[in-house]
Homo-oligomer: A and B are copies of this chain.
């Protein structure tokens, strides 16, 4: 395949990008000068050298000169180590941080498909169990873990994953909780689904 089509095909694998937009990306790059393209190519290449995956929460973080195994959050002694917020992906963490949460995180990297027989193939299940079961021997904060909050999407697959995790974690030390359901900002009663209304009613305050 020729280099233009090959590059377009690579961009097509990017999340949410179709053939037409992939083609437009290539055209855009062709119009840029070579130095711009080199810079882009280099920053893609350098990702491996300059980033690392946190050994505790498994999110990606930028390596400082002083090589570390932990990301800023996991390495921050002031965070509340009694709380572990389980999220689907790195991007969720930004949002949860904005909400004022100050505990620790764990990135599942995905959800479990409804049909799936082998959860561990889709999410970081073993690592989560180790963490939950206090068998983490880095002698770190996780020893103080009191509660695991399952921060999964309120979707069919998210619920499916939540139920499996609740089952797998039920004998672990920490309390297992799930995010409350209810009216999310902007929603109107007329359009809310009955489940959401029922949850909003149960968690009324």
Q: Closest residue to A48 on the B side, CB-wise?
A: B34
**Interchain CB contact under 8 A, A201 and B189:** no
Residue A120 interfacial (CB < 8 Å): no
Q: Closest residue to A93 on the B side, CB-wise?
A: B189
**Interchain CB contact under 8 A, A51 and B180:** no
**Interchain CB contact under 8 A, B203 and A182:** yes
Q: Closest residue to A149 on the B side, CB-wise?
A: B204
**Interchain CB contact under 8 A, A47 and B203:** no
**Interchain CB contact under 8 A, A185 and B180:** no
Residue A82 interfacial (CB < 8 Å): no
Chain B residues within 8 Å of A199, by CB:
180, 182
Binds B, one of A24-32, A128-136, A138-146: A24-32
Residue of A23, A87, A91, A179 contacting most chain B CB atoms (<10 Å): A179
Chain B residues within 8 Å of A190, by CB:
88-89, 91-92, 95
- Interchain CB contact (< 8 A) of A99 among B2, B151, B197: B197
- In chain A, positions 65-95 with a C-beta closer than 8 Å to chain B are 87-92, 95
- In chain A, positions 122-168 with a C-beta closer than 8 Å to chain B are 149, 151-155, 158
- Interchain CB contact (< 8 A) of A45 among B38, B47, B195, B198: B38
- In chain A, positions 175-199 with a C-beta closer than 8 Å to chain B are 177-199
Q: Closest residue to A204 on the B side, CB-wise?
A: B177
**Interchain CB contact under 8 A, B153 and A4:** no
Where the two chains meet, the residues of A that have a C-beta atom closer than 8 Å to any C-beta of B are 2-4, 6-7, 10, 14-16, 21, 23-31, 34, 37-48, 50-51, 53, 60, 62, 87-92, 95-96, 98-101, 109, 149, 151-155, 158, 177-205
Sample of 6 A–B contacts (CB below 8 Å): A4-B62, A7-B43, A31-B109, A88-B189, A95-B191, A179-B201
Instruction: Please provide the 5 A-B residue pairs with the shortest distance between their CB atoms, ordered closest to farther.
Output: A180-B203, A182-B182, A180-B182, A99-B197, A179-B200
Other than A7-B43, A30-B51, A184-B192, give 5 A-B pairs with Cβ distance below 8 A. A7-B47, A34-B48, A44-B44, A182-B183, A185-B195
